[in-house]
C-alpha cells in the first residue's frame, strides 16, 4: 500500500490522529497538505491555517488549495465540550461543505475519508433525524438546527457522528461524487489515546469510556487509526465505497452482539 504521486489533504494535522496520518502519508510517498486552526510544531509538507466552522472559512480554504487532489481526509473534529451547535458546525457541516466544495479539485477516481466514531453507533435508531440533518443544503445555521431538532448539548458529539455516518452513505450515491468516481468512506475509531480523550471523558462520562476500553482490552493509539485512513486513500481500496471501517479493536462487534443478543 503505497501513496507515491498522490496529493492528500488532511485536516486536523496539529495533533492526534491527524498528525500521525500526515506523518505516515509522507513516509508512504504522498504530498501532504495539512489543515488546522493551529500551526503544528513540525510542518509536514505544506500547511494552511483554516477554520472550517463557517462557510466563509471553508470558502477561504478551498481558494488556497490546488487542483488535482487525490484524497481528502476529514479528521479535524471537536469533542462536544463547546456545545452542540459548534460541534455540529465543525464535525459535520464544515466537513460536508469542504468535501462538496472540493469536488472540482479532486481528481476523477479520488476519494474522501471521514473520521467518524464508535459514538455514532446508534445511527440506525436515529436514522430519520440523522438523514434529515445530513440532507440539509448549504451550510445551515447550526444553532437553528440544534433548536429545530431539539438536540441537547450533551448529545452534540454522538449526533454529529451519527449524521456523518449517514451522510457518508448518501454521498457515495450523490451524483456530484459518482459522476467523477469519487469514493466516500468513513473510519470509526473507538477510544483513542489522544489529547482530546480527556474531553471525551468529560462529555461522555468515565463509565462509558472505561466500559468501551475494557471491552477490547486497551484504548487505541493514533498509530492504529492512521493506517486504516490511508488504506482507504490508496488504490488498494478502489472498490470500497460508502463503507464505514470500524477501527476499534472489536468494540462495534461487542456492542452489536449485546444489542441484538447474538
User: Which residues are identified as catalytic?
Assistant: 157
Give the sheet arrangement for strand 46-49, strand by strand.
Answer: 46-49, 31-36, 7-11, 69-74, 106-115, 183-189, 244-247
What's CA 202's distance to the chain center, in Å?
Answer: 21
- Among candidates 98, 111, 161, which has minimal Cα distance to 133? 161
**Contacts by 35-41 with C-beta closer than 8 Å and gap 24+?**
35/9, 35/10, 35/11, 35/61, 35/76, 36/11, 36/12, 36/76, 38/14, 39/14, 40/13, 40/14, 40/15, 41/14
Read off φ and ψ for residue 227, nearest 5 degrees: -60, -35
Question: Hey, is 29 helix, strand or coil?
Answer: coil
Q: DSSP labels for 228-242? A: HHHHHHSGGGTT--S
CA distance 106 to 8: 10
Read off φ and ψ for residue 62, nearest 5 degrees: -60, -40
Amino acid at each position: 500500500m503505497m501513496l507515491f504521486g498522490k496529493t492528500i489533504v488532511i485536516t486536523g494535522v496539529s495533533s492526534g490522529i491527524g498528525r500521525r496520518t500526515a506523518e505516515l502519508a509522507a513516509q508512504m510517498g504522498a504530498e501532504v497538505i495539512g489543515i488546522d486552526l493551529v500551526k503544528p510544531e513540525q510542518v509536514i509538507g505544506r500547511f494552511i491555517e483554516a477554520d472550517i466552522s463557517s462557510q466563509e472559512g471553508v470558502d477561504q480554504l478551498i481558494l488556497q488549495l490546488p487542483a488535482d487532489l487525490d484524497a481528502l481526509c476529514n479528521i479535524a473534529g471537536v469533542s462536544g465540550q463547546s456545545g452542540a451547535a459548534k460541534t455540529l458546525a465543525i464535525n459535520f457541516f464544515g466537513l460536508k461543505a469542504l468535501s462538496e466544495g472540493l469536488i472540482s479539485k479532486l481528481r476523477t477516481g479520488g476519494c474522501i475519508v471521514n473520521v467518524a466514531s464508535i459514538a455514532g453507533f446508534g445511527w440506525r435508531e436515529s436514522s430519520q433525524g440523522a438523514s434529515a440533518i445530513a440532507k440539509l443544503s448549504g451550510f445551515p445555521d447550526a444553532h437553528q438546527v440544534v433548536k429545530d431538532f431539539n438536540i441537547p448539548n450533551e448529545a452534540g458529539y454522538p449526533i454529529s457522528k451519527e449524521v456523518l455516518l449517514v451522510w457518508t452513505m448518501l454521498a457515495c450515491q450523490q451524483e456530484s461524487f459518482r459522476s467523477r468516481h469519487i469514493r466516500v468512506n468513513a473510519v470509526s475509531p473507538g477510544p483513542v489515546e489522544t489529547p482530546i480523550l480527556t474531553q471525551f471523558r468529560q462529555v461522555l462520562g468515565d463509565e462509558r469510556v472505561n466500559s468501551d476500553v475494557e471491552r477490547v482490552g486497551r484504548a487505541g493509539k493514533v498509530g492504529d487509526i492512521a493506517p486504516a485512513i490511508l488504506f482507504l486513500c490508496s488504490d488498494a481500496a478502489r472498490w470500497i465505497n460508502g463503507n464505514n471501517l470500524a477501527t476499534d479493536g472489536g468494540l462495534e462487534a461487542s456492542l452489536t452482539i449485546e444489542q441484538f443478543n447474538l
